[in-house]
Amino acid sequence: DAKTTQPPSMDCAEGRAANLPCNHSTISGNEYVYWYRQIHSQGPQYIIHGLKNNETNEMASLIITEDRKSSTLILPHATLRDTAVYYCIVRVERDSWGKLQFGAGTQVVVTP
Amino acid sequence: KAGVTQTPRYLIKTRGQQVTLSCSPISGHRSVSWYQQTPGQGLQFLFEYFSETQRNKGNFPGRFSGRQFSNSRSEMNVSTLELGDSALYLCASSLAGKITEAFFGQGTRLTVV
């Protein structure tokens, strides 16, 4: 699986959009981009995933560049409950179904 | 529906002892994975089970083992505990064989003294 690079931390004001970048320059054509987050002392939580088209769900939007070498997770209206470590993961969906390779992630702190 | 349940939530053991942790996946999920999380190494994959068979294994010593039962419940065992085994152990379940997300439990916090 390709590796990802994320900034170690970022702050965001409550109510504003949080844009979390992820670099995955060695991604292969059959690898998906997944985002998870982990609130302190809890298990990771799935947020969203995509292959090459932009995706949106009730939690967030995922924007993947045309060359697929980077992506941005957007939390449209950050709340204090969004304070967490956010992980960007790339993986081949068909193989190693349960295996997720987590990096260091980005610690997001939402402030009032 | 009920989420992934891990028991116990907290555990304190002494060096040299062994420990067994339990994970009950979401109903209908047949894939169960285990992860170890420590401040120094982050989240690391231990192993994955599907239909009672180990499909994948991470880079951990043989002291770490697991199994899955016919009802998809899984246990992991750590023998001859070391101080470095102190960690949060997380279990995740998923529907195997299709594009999906993994659902994690709250974890078991193991402290080895």
pLDDT in tens, A82-110: 999 999 999 876 555 667 888 899 999 99
Kindly state the helix (H) or strand (E) to which residue B107 belongs, with its residue range.
none
* Mean pLDDT score, B49-59: 91
Closest CA to A102 of B56, B38, B50: B38
Q: Kindly list the residues from chain B whose CB atom is less than 8 angstroms away from the CB atom of residue A105.
A: 42
Chain A residue whose CA is closest to B49 = A98
Answer yes or no: do A44 and B90 touch at CB < 8 A.
yes
Distance CA A52, CA A71 (A): 10
The predicted structure's pLDDT at residue B83: 97
Instruction: Give percent of chain B above pLDDT 90.
Output: 80
Spell out a b/e string for B19-56, using b for 16 or more CB atoms within 10 Å of the CB, else e. Answer: bebebbbbeebbbbbbbbbeeeeebbbbbbbbeeeebb
* Mean pLDDT score, A38-45: 90
Confidence check: pLDDT of B16 > 90: yes
* Helix, coil or strand: residue A81: helix
Distance CA B55, CA A98 (A): 9
Amino acid residing at A82: D
Amino acid residing at B71: N
Q: Kindly list the residues from chain B whose CB atom is less than 8 angstroms away from the CB atom of residue A100.
A: 33, 35, 43, 45, 92, 102
Amino acid residing at A74: I
Question: What confidence tier does A2 reach under pLDDT thresholds 50, 70, 90?
Answer: low
Distance CA A59, CA B104 (A): 17
pLDDT greater at residue B97 or residue A60: A60
Question: How many A/B residue pairs have CB atoms within 8 Å?
Answer: 67
Best A100, A101, A107 residue to mutate vs chain B (most B CBs within 10 Å): A100
Answer yes or no: do B55 and A98 touch at CB < 8 A.
yes
User: Could you tell me if A51 and A32 are in contact, meaning their C-beta atoms sit under 8 angstroms apart?
Assistant: yes
| Distance in Å, alpha carbon of A12 to nearest chain B alpha carbon | 24
Chain A residue whose CA is closest to B92 = A98
Distance CA B86, CA B111 (A): 5
Answer yes or no: do B107 and A42 touch at CB < 8 A.
yes
Answer yes or no: do B102 and A46 touch at CB < 8 A.
yes
* Mean pLDDT score, A4-27: 96
Placement of tokens 């967030």 in the chain: A60
| Distance in Å, alpha carbon of B41 to nearest chain A alpha carbon | 9
User: Could you tell me if A92 and A29 are in contact, meaning their C-beta atoms sit under 8 angstroms apart?
Assistant: no
Closest CA to A17 of A63, A64, A79: A79
Best A46, A52, A97, A100 residue to mutate vs chain B (most B CBs within 10 Å): A97
- The chain-wide mean pLDDT, for chain B, equals 92
Tell me whether A40 touches chain B (CB under 8 Å).
no
Distance CA A45, CA B99 (A): 16
